[in-house]
Structure 1
Amino acid sequence: MSTTTDHPGHPATATDDGRALRRIQVGWYVNDWASAAFSSTVLTVFLGPYLTSIAKEAADAQGDVHPLGLSIRAGSFYPYTVSFSVLLSVGAMLLAGTVADRTGRHKELMCGFAYLGAIATMGMFFLGGDRYLLGGALLVVANLAYAVSVALSYAYLPGLASPDERDAVSSKGWAYGYAGGGLLLIANLVLFQGHDAFGLSEGTAVRICLASAGLWWALFTIVPMLRLPSRAGALPGQAVVKDEPAAGSLRELGRTLRGMRRHPLTLLYLAAFLCYNDGIQTVVSQAALYGSEELGLDQTALVTAVLLVQVVAIGGALLLGRIARRYGAKRTILGSLVGWVATLALGYVMPAHQPVWFYVLACMIGLVLGGSQALSRSLFSHLIPAGKEAEYFSVYKVSDRGTSWMGPLVFGLAYQVTGSYRSAIISLLVFFVIGFAVLLKVPVRRAIEAVGNPVPERL
């Protein structure tokens, strides 16, 4: 008898399935590696200060710009634009998630939006002068596409590992993301610091750095295109749900949103996550703006600090993943939120023009950043009814990795009212306090059982 029989229980089949799963996992990790360049280089470091400086060039004597006839402070244009892009992306994510779950075309939609975002990001090379409206438009397109693409990638997580291994796989994905984003940042730091030696102006160097993130994103998206299956959510060897036509997806979306009310504990966890992670994402996306405008730090110090975040976050994601194995994901996340409160407090009292303190802040952010997000993602994957992964993760992605909207809105309003970025940064405490309190009340074991999923040993 042949040793390569496809009988379900045969060891050869198990070995083949194991190889297939590892291949899919690597493709998924590289997707994080690819898209993290947009999050780190564009959202976290270069675009905030650069777009703000362009808006200030276009501002009137009172320091205001007037997009769409509205009068706002030039310093608030970037956070307001981030919020606007996320509000637009909410509907796009929900609709794309519904279409993906209905048709089984998760990969095609994910990669399609990734390339849309990459092209918009490469278009940022053409920013300059007083073209703040062009910068705002490209940011809206790129951030919307990024949000949809990453939400669809999250839908693969339940099929990548067993319940007890999911925290580790999710943490490894975040580690890949920070490694990829950090590697590109090193190259961009060399370019930015040596722009004179390369015969470039500082503005041109920044625009090249922005465009490089789009190029990086586009090139490495080829790997998940080749390795991921079209449909997310099923382990190798499991039956695949038959694809359905995309027609009627809006009606299906309505049914999904109404059906979420049948899982109130999942919604309670989602409310906690949307709150505290909005605070996290606002700290990450506005840190460079805070460092440049309030602390008086130059672009080199900002890039170095964000690079520190990327490096420390690799270890932080893996470390908190190990802690979760012993103490459970929920308790580890709660501990990380305490760390975030301490980080905000340090940011508020930090002296200006002293980059060493900003580097300390960067290390604190990195230590809790990757782990809190990776564990939140894996914990939520247990709370999703089977077959609804993309739709539920589309709701989840409303406040994940650069797509938050409440935090930037509060941050922008606080600056609009007070004129102080210190007041803006401390206003974010409310998100962590409320998120901690709500998460504390979530009975995770009951929530997992309520959606019919197997319960992992450690919660």
Structure 2
Amino acid sequence: MSIEMARSTGVAAIDDRREQVGWYFYDWANSAFSTTVVTVFLGPYLTAVTRRAADADGFVYPLGIPVAAGAFFPYMVSLSVLLQVLFLPILGAIADYTHLKKHLLGVFAYVGAIATMLLYFLDGGNYLFGGMLFLIANLSFGASIVFYNAFLPEIASPDRRDAVSSQGWALGYLGGGLLLVANLLLFQNAESFGVSSDHAVRISITSAGMWWAIFTIIPLLALRRRDPIKRIPPGEHYVTIGFKQLWDTLRKARHYPQTLLSLGAYLLYNDGIQTVIALASQFGAEELRLEQSTLISAILMVQFVAFIGALAFGRIAGWLGATRAILVSLVIWTSVIVAAYGWVQPDSPTQFYILAAAIAIVLGGSQAISRSLFSQMIPPGQESEYFSLYEVSERGTSWLGPLVFGLALQFTGSYRVAILLLLIFFIAGIALLLRVDARRAILEAGNVPPAKV
């Protein structure tokens, strides 16, 4: 159906450029939360607030439980992930039985944005207030991403999906990077602006919530409501059908072995990717003895180079197919790990920048193409549900890479050995991905494969 015919009949069209651009802007909107809040500012600030509230032994007691002040923020991250594991599949199943996907995207986006803005009032020793707001914001962030991803099969045809996914991811890096630049300028020149460094942090965190809220308006205006393929059975309620559909999906997933194999490959190599992202700064500071200013500038560079890399891998997927494009990115990832182990030297910012640029080139591309490939393998009408499993599975295994890194560091005392062991995740991911018959997986799900997969 053409876009013009779809609009005249009131049916939402695929490959409507206006709708796709609107969809991109949710990546632009929410990336401010992950970069400014989670990656840079909130962890150190909330930890400082928690330490002010701690006793002489360095402990706080939320709900009477003794928690080391330095561990409070990581525990909040873990708890928010656990809640996502429990709730996201249910929300996904409910969304697939209703026409409320856009509404649920908006609700969770604004709950998360408001919770983030309220962090402006985090001061003194009120660590529990900050922890609860972060818990709400991060849970809402994860929920909104499920509904956002679930729109991808509805707005992009199979042959356009890699490019659309990559463009959304690229815009996210650009938006998150631009706001982070502004916030770092404020933080580093706080006295010139007449504010304390703590106040500059609170302003920066609040700006991320405002950015998230303001730019979410664009996708909510552009995305069109679609009637669900599945209808709720008589006598059922949306909540109860959510639990039943989740169980039914898990039970029937064995009928899609290639989809499960692809998901398994993604969980392995993405765990390696997430571990590198989380620990690169620590590796740079502790092993390479780099200044904090070098690490911050490298983070900023990654944001903008990743914008170019995500767009480039959208093109590469168009030439080679999504599976080969992902394999190319994973080969580069393994090369980066080997270089970090044996090539980059201490006190060498130039080498670290080269390594960071190589990571940035494949960072967005490997994740964006993985998302679009998985979207092809989802049975029609179950987009939100399968993407909730995608999100939950990713978060449910994201502790494995840091655990391997931490154990290797503890037993060998070497950051280089610890980072080298992350090759396990990339090599295992490549091995599984090579066994995936993507075209067969797409056909098994009842979808039409693109010309190149």
How does the TM-score come out when normalised to structure 2? 0.86
Structure 2's unaligned 5+ residue stretches are none
Identity fraction in percent: 54
User: How far did residue 285 of structure 1 move?
Assistant: 3.6
User: How far did residue 326 of structure 1 move?
Assistant: 1.7
**Structure 1 stretch displaced more, 380-389 or 175-184:** 175-184
Deviations 1:236-258 (A, max 9, x none): xxx76375351422112211221
Distance 1:123 1:294, change over 3 A: farther
Whether 2:231 is the aligned partner of 1:200: answer: no
- How many angstroms apart in 1 are the aligned matches of 2:398 and 2:99? 27
| Matched letter for residue 334 of structure 2 | V
Distance 1:168 1:188, change over 3 A: same
Match of 1:334 among 317, 327, 332: 327
Distance 1:403 1:442, change over 3 A: closer
Distance 1:151 1:266, change over 3 A: same
Look up the SS of the partner of 1:250 in the other structure: helix
Q: Is the 8 A contact 1:276 1:435 kept in 2?
A: yes
Distance 1:105 1:423, change over 3 A: farther
Q: Is the 8 A contact 1:167 1:321 kept in 2?
A: yes
Q: Which residue of 2 aligns with 1:152?
A: 147
Match of 1:246 among 223, 235, 238: 238
User: How far did residue 191 of structure 1 move?
Assistant: 1.1
Q: Which residue of 1 aligns with 2:440?
A: 446
User: How far did residue 140 of structure 1 move?
Assistant: 2.6
Look up the SS of the partner of 1:104 in the other structure: coil
Q: CA RMSD, aligned part only?
A: 3.3
Distance 1:87 1:419, change over 3 A: farther
Q: Which residue of 2 aligns with 1:235?
A: none
User: How far did residue 355 of structure 1 move?
Assistant: 4.1
Distance 1:79 1:411, change over 3 A: farther
Match of 2:310 among 287, 306, 317: 317
Match of 1:260 among 241, 253, 274: 253
**Structure 1 stretch displaced more, 179-188 or 409-418:** 409-418
Whether 2:19 is the aligned partner of 1:24: answer: yes
Deviations 1:118-152 (A, max 9, x none): 12222333445555554443333222111110111
- How many angstroms apart in 2 are the aligned matches of 1:204 and 1:19? 46
- How many angstroms apart in 1 are the aligned matches of 2:159 and 2:288? 44
Match of 2:220 among 218, 225, 230: 225
Distance 1:202 1:324, change over 3 A: same
- How many angstroms apart in 2 are the aligned matches of 1:438 and 1:20? 32
Whether 2:59 is the aligned partner of 1:44: answer: no
Q: Which residue of 1 aligns with 2:5?
A: 13
- How many angstroms apart in 2 are the aligned matches of 1:324 and 1:436? 17
Q: Is the 8 A contact 2:89 2:246 kept in 1?
A: yes
- How many angstroms apart in 1 are the aligned matches of 2:162 and 2:250? 27
Distance 1:145 1:267, change over 3 A: same
| Matched letter for residue 391 of structure 1 | E
Q: Is the 8 A contact 1:82 1:405 kept in 2?
A: no
User: How far did residue 195 of structure 1 move?
Assistant: 1.4
**Structure 1 stretch displaced more, 370-379 or 255-264:** 255-264
Distance 1:298 1:88, change over 3 A: farther
Distance 1:51 1:305, change over 3 A: farther
| Matched letter for residue 258 of structure 2 | L
Distance 1:131 1:300, change over 3 A: farther
Q: Which residue of 2 aligns with 1:5?
A: none
Q: Which residue of 1 aligns with 2:174?
A: 179
Whether 2:374 is the aligned partner of 1:380: answer: yes
Distance 1:135 1:444, change over 3 A: same
Distance 1:148 1:178, change over 3 A: same
Q: Is the 8 A contact 1:86 1:403 kept in 2?
A: no
Distance 1:224 1:372, change over 3 A: same
Look up the SS of the partner of 1:103 in the other structure: coil
- How many angstroms apart in 1 are the aligned matches of 2:22 and 2:446? 28
Structure 1's unaligned 5+ residue stretches are 1-7, 232-238
Q: Which residue of 1 aligns with 2:386?
A: 392
Distance 1:380 1:80, change over 3 A: same
User: How far did residue 401 of structure 1 move?
Assistant: 9.1
Q: Is the 8 A contact 1:399 1:405 kept in 2?
A: no
| Matched letter for residue 253 of structure 2 | M
Q: Which residue of 2 aligns with 1:83?
A: 78
Distance 1:198 1:293, change over 3 A: farther
Look up the SS of the partner of 1:452 in the other structure: coil
Match of 2:165 among 161, 164, 170: 170
Q: Which residue of 2 aligns with 1:69?
A: 65
- How many angstroms apart in 1 are the aligned matches of 2:421 and 2:134? 24
Q: Which residue of 2 aligns with 1:275?
A: 268
